[in-house]
Structure 1
Amino acid sequence: MLQKFLISRRTAVALALVASGSALLPMTAQSQALSKSALNLAMIAEPATLDPMATTADLTATIMQHVYEPLYTFDANWKMIPMLAESLPKVSADGKRYSITLRKGVMLHNGRELNSEDVVLSLKRWMEVSPRGKALAKEIDSLTASGANGVEIVLKAPYAPLLPQLALPSGMAAIMAKESIATPLKDFIGTGPYKFKERRPDQYVLLTKFDQYSARKEAASGYGGKKVAVAEELRFIPVPNANTRVEGSLAGQYHFADLLPTEALGRLEKSGGKTVPILTPSFGFPYFVFNTKEGVMASLPLRKAVQTSFGVGEMLAAGFGDTRFFTAEPNHFPKGTPFYSTAGSNLYNERDAAKAKGQSAAAGYKGETIRILTSRQYDFHYNMALIMAEQLKRAGFKAELNVVDWATLVQRRGDSKLWDIYITHSGQFPEPMLSPPQLGDGAPGWWSSPAKQSTLAALNQETNPAKRGALWGAVQQVVYDEVPYINVGKFNSLSAKSPALQGYVPSTWPFFWNAGLKN
């Protein structure tokens, strides 16, 4: 049944490629037909950091996945495939030991060949720095090098999401040159098809082609397979104003513009070929994270009252407008996928102000301000925040909107004294432990409870895919019962590209290897 979900993505990709004409050329011929100029890529903001381990922000992942690579990655159907690893690992009969062999001859950007020591030290840093890495570290008994090209990971118990955790671009388990490893990271030395050249704050991040790149031989698929740096340079330009990204696309200023407002679709469609709109279905889900550590939302009864007040259908309508762009439904995973569940659905989209008032009074609410942290970098975040504040006020809560730029939001959400609810979104992935980060330990929100630990342990230690679906239902029920976050619904994304840009494949984290400008 997962196939049905994946077909919608593949169909969108195929339609976009046919519209641009790039699907008509095989990869080798297509690359030869493209010019080797620079790509101007309009992003939603200035990245808070270029350290791919230090943040789960999609913007950093989008940029730095061109510089760094993981051991494993996802193909076009979200299946695990090797990247820096030679093949999928050999797993012991008890499911605890993973033996990984690295590809030989992979060059780092400093001209040295990658080895097992680089991998081990990189993964150890990831487990110290990244929220997902920290959570995974608790599952690992040992991580060691085995010769120049071997890595051994021994788990304390079987852990089904290990490879997906190592593969996700967001908060990436990036493999970097051991001599560059530091905190904070100053030298960005990876193995990717592009290398870091320059960052000019509020102007651009510039990546240049890595001439010694060691490409895989398999056909390009998703985030893996053969990567070719067709364009000589990638210039990621921060354009925080969404309307400016739209106007720049229509004027031919950008070869690609990310995450455009849904109301721009009509103008893009009527541009007369000046730009090509790209609609990526089942792109992701917006969600609201609660501060369970301190402040007014640390109270579970009050979180439940807030959940009762929420009308997420109204929020989605405010965020996306056109019903082609969103679906309001309680299940975290789409119907037809292995993790579809209706657990907790009675608590979704209640929008009951009177009931919420009664719940908050019983919980001892005294009129404390609920601080909502949001940003205008993503228009739908801000629009949903406005509706959220009004719904809270109708239920008798005092709500305050704190609107900051995205980099500041990412920084502030790490301080439990500065907010009560913040708004973000995630891609829709086939493995529950990949997103949201709140399912792990240590992510902003700091959710921890016996029910969380026990249900997640049961899910993660079960390696039989057929049994994991029901176990996810138990986790979803705990999320509704303890309200660490609220999954608002599902949305499709809108971006745009120049008709001259060929070879671009729509994806959660846009990538630009195998893409270039038509001569």
Structure 2
Amino acid sequence: MKKTLTFALAAALAAIAPPAMAKDVINVAIVGEPDTLDPMVSTKDVVSIVTQHVVETLYTFDGSWNVAPLLAEDLPKISDDGKTYDIKLREGITFSDGSKLDSADVVASLERWMKIASRGKTVADKVTSVTAKGPNAIEIKMSAPYAPLLSLLAFSNSAAAIYPSEIIPEGDGQIDKVIGTGPYEYGEHVPDQYLQLVPFKGFVPRDEPANGGAGKRGQAPDEIRFIPVPDPNTRVEGLVSGQFDFADSLPAESYDRIEQSDKAKPVLLQDFGWPVWAINHKAGLLTDRKIRQALLAALPFDDMLFAAFGDDKFFKVDGALYPEGWAWHSEEGADLYNQNDPSRAGELLEEAGYDGTPLRILTSRQYEFHYKMAEVAKQALEAAGFKVEMDVVDWATLGQRRNDPALWDIYISHSPFLPEPALTDMWFPSSRIGWANPDKDKIADAFVSETDPKKRAELFAKMQKANLEDVGFIKVGNFNALLGEAKSLEGVPPSPWPYFWNATKK
């Protein structure tokens, strides 16, 4: 049986990874095929990891999660009332189609971002205007101070990417061929086998030393190949055999195997993030608050996390939305977390008049820990009185189905702990889950308008309590993410969205 598995994995690896032809090729195993190369329209990590090499934003994050300029010349000049942002653009920047970056491109891109991107939509009603101030500067006017604006403009996920204005379609149309200013451009793409990135010869890097995503972005590899490998064990085997130089999102139980390998080493991101159960507030069963509360009461978070990660060095049962040590950490409302009380859940279902309508859980095995959590939860929910249907699909299909609220009640995802809570768009009614609550919305509006850090932390504590009371979305716990890289690979800083522009092989 072991031999059969070994041969099967070897055959799978041979099928998905083409032979390296260029001088210095970095082969990166990712969880699946990106369903778009336009980062504006997606919050998927697999999209962000790839596209950040090709398209750029006005700002980015440095290694300490501080906002730093990227296509902007420097940090903006902000008016005393906090409502006007004057942003100068770097000059001499060229898109990979040969056109020059100017203020018209930035204005058109930001207007599209606010219209179609989930994170852009969260700020759209606060923006009065985005206007060009000559060819190399723009002005953003706000209706009120908005503290998270620069973090939103810096984020590579649902990104405020800057494109040539000529390729931006009208309405909600998709961009057929994505063009950017980044260090790489798209080369050959064989769907479900590999996506090739090659250096963009007209790229103009920043002068500052590299610091996280900020500073000088190089073009060290002659080629970067992103290889979709949906099966997590195949990603592990490809890594330890030397087929891949880097592998994303690996099962916790593979840590020892990778550590003992002579070709690869594990990369453990401590306090990486949190698995999340995203709840459908737009349609279906969970529009009923009592049924949402019954769901929260029934979930056995200890068992779910143990099933997902197997060893408590990889997880922590914690209801606070940020771990201890973060400015946003609070215990407000945490008494409602990890009730693991099927009797209470049953009472709430009875009070709600639950009629046995199936609770539809949308998940994928490409992130194996998502599926394992759902399996354990299903048993507990059925014991509490729910009827449960599991819809297990590939990650690309999940990304499509979650856009239709008629198809699911819960979808399972995860997020790193982000430096700005407003980067989690589920707080806002405009998000995919559609969570609208007058009291919560009032607190959230105050939170994004407040600029004093201490007052913002106090407001976030109230937001956390409102989330647990109203069950807006469910944090399962904290987890450490396992990635892997070849021992010969250098220049890839540990990151939730690893980047390879400065990567080299010994």
- Report the TM-score, using the length of structure 2 for normalisation: 0.94
Which residue, 495, 501, 504 being the options, matches 1:507?
A: 495
CA distance in 1, matches of 2:267, 2:237: 16
CA distance in 2, matches of 1:262, 1:95: 45
Instruction: Give the letter for the 1:394 counterpart.
Output: A
Q: Identity of aligned pairs, percent?
A: 46
CA distance in 2, matches of 1:497, 1:358: 49
Q: Could you tell me whether the CA contact under 8 Å between 1:308 and 1:355 is conserved in 2?
A: yes
CA distance in 2, matches of 1:372, 1:79: 36
The 3-state SS of whatever aligns with 1:425 is: strand
Q: Superposed, which structure 2 residues align to 1:224-239 within 5 Å?
A: 224-239=214-229
Which residue, 143, 165, 169 being the options, matches 1:178?
A: 165
Question: What CA deviation, in whole Å up to 9, does each residue of 1:103-161 have, x standing for no partner?
Answer: 11111111222111111101111111111111111110111111001010000100000
- 1:320 paired with 2:309, answer yes
What stretches of structure 1 move > 3 A for 4+ residues in a row? none
Question: What CA deviation, in whole Å up to 9, does each residue of 1:162-219 have, x standing for no partner?
Answer: 0001111111111111122232111111100001123221111111101221111111
Question: What CA deviation, in whole Å up to 9, does each residue of 1:228-264 have, x standing for no partner?
Answer: 0101111100000000001101110001111110000
CA distance in 2, matches of 1:504, 1:460: 33
CA distance in 2, matches of 1:344, 1:132: 26
For residue 11 of structure 2, what is the aligned residue in structure 1? none
CA distance in 2, matches of 1:36, 1:454: 56
Two-structure CA RMSD over aligned residues (Å)? 1.0
- 1:399 paired with 2:402, answer no
For residue 308 of structure 1, what is the aligned residue in structure 2? 297
Name stretches of at least 5 consecutive residues in structure 1 with no aligned partner: 1-34
Question: What CA deviation, in whole Å up to 9, does each residue of 1:54-106 have, x standing for no partner?
Answer: 11001000000000111011111001111100010000010000000001111
- 1:418 paired with 2:407, answer yes
For residue 60 of structure 1, what is the aligned residue in structure 2? 47
For residue 360 of structure 2, what is the aligned residue in structure 1? 371
The 3-state SS of whatever aligns with 1:144 is: strand
For residue 278 of structure 2, what is the aligned residue in structure 1? 289
For residue 470 of structure 2, what is the aligned residue in structure 1? 482
- 1:450 paired with 2:438, answer yes
Q: Could you tell me whether the CA contact under 8 Å between 1:250 and 1:274 is conserved in 2?
A: yes
Cα offset for 1:268?
Answer: 0.8
CA distance in 1, matches of 2:216, 2:123: 29
Q: Could you tell me whether the CA contact under 8 Å between 2:122 and 2:431 is conserved in 1?
A: no
Q: Could you tell me whether the CA contact under 8 Å between 2:305 and 2:477 is conserved in 1?
A: yes
Q: Could you tell me whether the CA contact under 8 Å between 1:131 and 1:441 is conserved in 2?
A: no
Which residue, 194, 204, 229 being the options, matches 1:204?
A: 194
- Report the TM-score, using the length of structure 1 for normalisation: 0.92
Q: Superposed, which structure 2 residues align to 1:214-225 within 5 Å?
A: 214-225=204-215
CA distance in 2, matches of 1:365, 1:180: 50
For residue 109 of structure 2, what is the aligned residue in structure 1? 122
For residue 7 of structure 1, what is the aligned residue in structure 2? none
CA distance in 1, matches of 2:432, 2:83: 30
Q: Could you tell me whether the CA contact under 8 Å between 2:489 and 2:504 is conserved in 1?
A: yes
For residue 433 of structure 1, what is the aligned residue in structure 2? 422
CA distance in 1, matches of 2:320, 2:243: 40
CA distance in 1, matches of 2:99, 2:105: 11
Which residue, 178, 182, 190 being the options, matches 2:180?
A: 190
Which residue, 76, 97, 111 being the options, matches 1:89?
A: 76
Question: What CA deviation, in whole Å up to 9, does each residue of 1:379-407 have, x standing for no partner?
Answer: 10000010111110010110111000000
Q: Superposed, which structure 2 residues align to 1:273-288 within 5 Å?
A: 273-288=262-277
Cα offset for 1:49?
Answer: 1.3
For residue 90 of structure 2, what is the aligned residue in structure 1? 103
CA distance in 2, matches of 1:410, 1:217: 38
Cα offset for 1:276?
Answer: 1.4
The size of the alignment, in residue pairs, is 482
CA distance in 2, matches of 1:198, 1:142: 39
Q: Could you tell me whether the CA contact under 8 Å between 1:36 and 1:517 is conserved in 2?
A: no
For residue 377 of structure 2, what is the aligned residue in structure 1? 388
The 3-state SS of whatever aligns with 1:40 is: strand
- 1:113 paired with 2:100, answer yes
The 3-state SS of whatever aligns with 2:353 is: coil
Q: Could you tell me whether the CA contact under 8 Å between 2:298 and 2:384 is conserved in 1?
A: yes
For residue 269 of structure 1, what is the aligned residue in structure 2? 259
CA distance in 2, matches of 1:513, 1:403: 35
Instruction: Give the letter for the 1:318 counterpart.
Output: A
Q: Could you tell me whether the CA contact under 8 Å between 2:56 and 2:161 is conserved in 1?
A: yes
Q: Could you tell me whether the CA contact under 8 Å between 1:132 and 1:440 is conserved in 2?
A: no
- 1:497 paired with 2:500, answer no
Cα offset for 1:36?
Answer: 4.8
Instruction: Give the letter for the 2:488 counterpart.
Output: A
For residue 23 of structure 1, what is the aligned residue in structure 2? none
Cα offset for 1:43?
Answer: 0.3
